[in-house]
Amino acid sequence: MNGDHQSTDLYDRYKQEMQKLADVKYSAAVLQWDQETYLPPKGADFRGRQIATLSEISHQMFTDEKVGNLLQDLVSKELPAEQKRNVELTWEDFSRLKKLSPAFVRKMSEAVSASFHAWVEARKRNDFSIFEPLLAPLVDLKRQEAELFGYEGHRYNALMNEYEKGATVAMLDQVFSDIKTPLIDLFSEIQQKTVADDRFLFQHFSREKQWEWGLYLAKQLGFDLEAGRQDISEHPFTTSFSSRDVRITTRIDENDFANMTWSTIHEVGHGLYEQGLPSRQYGLPLGEYASLGIHESQSRLWENCIGRGSAFWQFYYPKLQQYFPSQFSNISKEQFVKAINKVQPSFIRTEADELTYHFHVMVRYELEKRLIEGSLQVHEIPLYWNDQYKALLGVNVKDDKEGCLQDVHWSHGSFGYFATYSLGSFYAAQFWEKAKTDLPGLEAGIASEGKTDELLEWLRDKVHRHGRYYTSDELCALVTGKKLDSTVFVNYLRQKLNVL
C-alpha cells in the first residue's frame, strides 16, 4: 500500500509541475496569438522579447533536474495505463529538449519573432529580399537544432520528428513517390474534360457578410464559441490555450468567395479537435494532439470530405443563397459544387484543389529538405521555387507574394511541417471511409438536415479523446483497421472527381 501511495504522490507532483509549466507556455501562446491578430506594429520588438523570455523560462522549468529526477522515479513505478503513458511521453520530451540550452531556446524565439515581422513586411511589399536577411539565420539555427537533437540518416529527420513522430526522409520520399504518378495520371484525365466555370466565385462579396457567413458555418459545424473565438490574420491558423479556449483565424478577400469559406472550415476542423481533447489532462501529453498529421486529418476531413462534398451543399446551398442572393440566385447547386471542386494548376497552396494541393506540398518538402541539408541556400529560394512550380504545376510564378512568401511557416521556424498536410489528407480519406461505414446514414443526414454532429461525436470517440496516447500510424490502425494507405485517398479523389 505504501508503494501505491508513493506512486500516487509522485504522480500528483508530476501533474502539478506539468500544469504549472503549461500555464507559462500558454501565456506565451496568448502573446503569439495577439502578435498575429491585434498587435500594433510598433509593439513588435518588445513583444519578441516578452515571448522569448517566457519561452526561456518554460524551457528552464521543464529541463530542470528536479523534473528529470521526478520523471526517472516515476518511469519505474507501477501506474495505471494513462498515467504511465503520460510519464513515458513526458520523459521522451524531457530527454529531447534537455539537449537544447535555455540560451539557444531564447535565441531561437527571438529569431522567430524577428523573422515573422519581416515576413509580414515582405508580403506587404511583395519582396523576398526583405525576409531573406532574417530567414537565413533562422535556417542556420534550425540546422543547429537538428544537430543538437541528433538523428539517424538525414538531418531533416530531426525536425520532421517534432511534428510527426517517426517521420523520416526515407518514409516520405516513398510516400510521395507512390502517390505522385497516380495523381499526375488523374490530373491528366481531368484535363481532358470540360473545365468547370467558377467565375461566379470571384464577384464582390462584402467583408461583413462573409464574416457573418463564416461564423454561421463555424457554429453549425459544432465549434463552441463559448470555448473559442474567430479573428482575422494574415495567414489562417488555430491555436489553443486549453480545450476551453481555442482560437481560430481566417482571412477575407472581397473578390474571392472561396478564400474565406474554406479557410474557415479548415480551421474549424483544427478547432474541433482542440476542443475535443480531454480537459482533465490539461498540461499533460494525453491532453495534447497526437501529431500534426492527425491534426491536419481533422482540418482536411472537414474542409474537403465534408465542405466540398455534394451532400453538405444539398442542405447549405439554399442558406448560402440567402446570405448572397445577388451572387448565387442564378447559380444551381450542381454548378456551385463543380466550381468549388475545379481542378486546375494554381499558385497558392491554401486555395488549391484537393488534387494539385499535393504538388504544392511536394515543392515545399523538397525545398526544405535541401535547405536543411545545405544544398540550397536561402537566397536561392525564389528561383528554386519558381522552377519547381513550372516543372510540377506548369505555371509561371509572377511575384514573391504568390510564390515563396505565401506561407507563414518558415517565419515561425516550422521546418518539417509541410509534409503533414499531405499525410493529413491521406489519414482523412481513411477516417472518412470508415466513418461512412460505421455511420450508414451520415451523408443522407448531412444532405437533408445539415447534421454533422454524428460525425463529430464519432471523431471525438475515435480520435480526439486519445490525445497523444498513440502515434499516427497506431491511431490510424486503431480507427480504420490498417496503417496509412495513400491508395484510399486516390480512390476517394477519383470517385469524387469522376462524378462531378
Q: How far apart are the C-alpha atoms of 383 and 397, rounded to whole Å?
A: 10
| Beta strands 228-232 and 245-250, pairing class | parallel
Q: Using an 8 Å Cβ cutoff, are 140 and 115 in contact?
A: no
Can you read off the three cell numbers belonging to residue 327? Answer: 451572387
Q: How far apart are the C-alpha atoms of 402 and 393, rounded to whole Å?
A: 14
CA dist list (Å): 80 to 8, 75, 84, 462: 10, 12, 6, 21
Active site residues: 267
Can you read off the three cell numbers belonging to residue 80? Answer: 495505471
Cβ neighbours for 326, distance < 8 A, ≥ 6 positions apart: none
Checking phi first, is residue 127 left (phi over 0); if not, alpha (psi -120 to 50) or beta? beta
DSSP secondary-structure letter at 411? G
Can you read off the three cell numbers belonging to residue 247? Answer: 482560437
**Look-up: residue for cell 470540360?**
194
SS3 142: helix
SS3 232: strand
Q: 209-241 burial, b if ≥16 CB within 10 A, otherwise e?
A: ebbebbbebbebbbbeeebbebeebbbbbbbbb
CA 222 from centre of chain = 19
Q: How far apart are the C-alpha atoms of 104 and 7, rounded to whole Å?
A: 34
CA dist list (Å): 470 to 284, 386, 408, 466: 14, 39, 29, 7
Q: How far apart are the C-alpha atoms of 386 and 384, rounded to whole Å?
A: 6
Q: How far apart are the C-alpha atoms of 418 and 160, rounded to whole Å?
A: 9
Q: How far apart are the C-alpha atoms of 136 and 467, rounded to whole Å?
A: 35
